[in-house]
Amino acid sequence: MIWGIMLIPVLLGALWLLLTFTDTWLRSYLFEIKTADYAHNLMIKQSLVTAVWVLIALAGYTFAKRIIANVLARIAQLLPQYSTVAQNIFLALVVWGAVGVGIVMFMPVTKTVIQGMGIVLFSIFLYGLSFTMLLENTLKKGLWAYLLRIAGISMGAGLLLFVVGGTGWRHRDFMLVTVTANGFFQVFICAPLYWLIYQRSLSARQQLTSLRTALGSSSANLDFLRSQINPHFLFNALNTLYGTALQESAERTGEGIQRLGDMMRFMLRENIQEKILLGREIEYLQNYVALQTLRIQSSPDITISQHIEDDVHDLHIAPMLLIPFVENAFKHGISLRKPSQVVISLQIREGILYFDVRNTVHEKQDHDIEADKNGIGLENVRLRLQLLYPQKHELVVRQTALEFFIHLTVRLTEKV
Residue environment code for 165-201, b if the CB has 16+ CB neighbours within 10 A, otherwise e? eeebeeeeeebeebbeebbebbbeebbeebbeebeee
Least confident of 276-290, 291-305, 380-394: 291-305
Phi (first) and psi of residue 268, to 5 degrees: -85, -30
State the amino acid at position 243 in one-letter form: G
| Predicted local confidence at residue 48, as pLDDT | 83
Q: How far apart are CA 252 and CA 254, in angstroms?
A: 5
| Structural domains of the chain, with CATH | 2-199 (no CATH), 300-363+372-411 (3.30.565.10)
Q: Measured between alpha carbons, how far is 127 from 191 in angstroms, rounded to an integer? A: 8
Which of residues 69 and 284 earns the better pLDDT score? 284
Task: Give the dihedral of Cα atoms 285, 286, 291, 297; nearest 10 deg.
Answer: 130
Mean pLDDT of the chain: 77
3-state secondary structure of 403: strand
Cα–Cα distance for residue pair 355/322, rounded to 1 Å: 8
What DSSP string describes 213-255? HHHHHHHHHHHHHHHHS-HHHHHHHHHHHHHHHHHTT-HHHHH
Q: Is the dihedral of CA 99, 104, 107, 109 positive or negative?
A: positive
Assess whether pLDDT exceeds 60 at residue 161: yes
Give 371-400 pLDDT, tens digit per residue: 444 445 678 788 888 888 888 999 999 998
pLDDT at residue 178 above 90? no
Secondary structure (DSSP) of 276-293: EEHHHHHHHHHHHHHHHH
Decide if pLDDT at 174 tops 60: yes
**Lowest-pLDDT range, 25-29, 299-303, 373-377?**
373-377
Q: Which residue has the higher pLDDT, 243 or 105?
A: 105
**Using an 8 Å Cβ cutoff, are 261 and 238 in contact?**
yes
Q: What is the pLDDT of residue 247?
A: 61
pLDDT reported for residue 365: 59
* Residue 333 CB contacts under 8 Å (≥ 6 apart), including other chains: 340, 341, 342, 359, 360, 361, 362, 404
Q: How confident is the model at residue 229 (pLDDT cuts 50, 70, 90)?
A: very low
Do the beta carbons of residue 242 and residue 235 sit within 8 Å? Answer: no
Q: Give the 3-state secondary structure of residue 323.
A: helix
Q: Are strands 340-349 and 302-308 parallel, antiparallel or unpaired?
A: parallel
Q: Cα(125)–Cα(89) distance, rounded to whole angstroms?
A: 8
What was the pLDDT predicted at 243?
61
What pLDDT shows up at residue 370? 47
Q: Find, among 291, 293, 296, the residue nearest to 254 by Cα.
A: 291
CA–CA gap between residue 288 and residue 357 (Å, rounded)? 14
pLDDT score at 134: 85
More confident residue, 324 or 294: 324
Find the mean pLDDT for residues 149-155.
Answer: 88
Write down the pLDDT at residue 233.
Answer: 45
Report which of 304, 231, 224 is spatially closest to residue 267, judged by C-alpha positions: 231
Residue whose C-alpha is closest to residue 264's, from 315, 230, 293: 230
Tell if the pTM clears 0.75, that is, is over it.
Answer: no
CA distance 370 to 331: 10
Calculate mean pLDDT across residues 193-197.
90
CB-based contact 126:186 (threshold 8 Å) = yes
- pLDDT at 232 > cutoff 60: no
Nearest Cα residue to 261 out of 246, 277, 240, 282? 240
Contact 351, 311 (CB under 8 A): no
Please give the pLDDT value at position 94.
80
Residue 92 has pLDDT above 80, yes or no: yes
Tens of pLDDT, residue by residue over 54-88, are 777 777 767 766 776 676 666 566 666 677 787 78
pLDDT computed for residue 42 by the predictor: 80
Q: Indicate if the pLDDT at residue 251 is higher than 70.
A: no
Cβ atoms of residues 333 and 342 within 8 Å: yes
Min mean pLDDT across 65-69, 92-96, 286-290 is at 65-69
326-344 residue pLDDT tens: 988 888 888 878 889 999 9
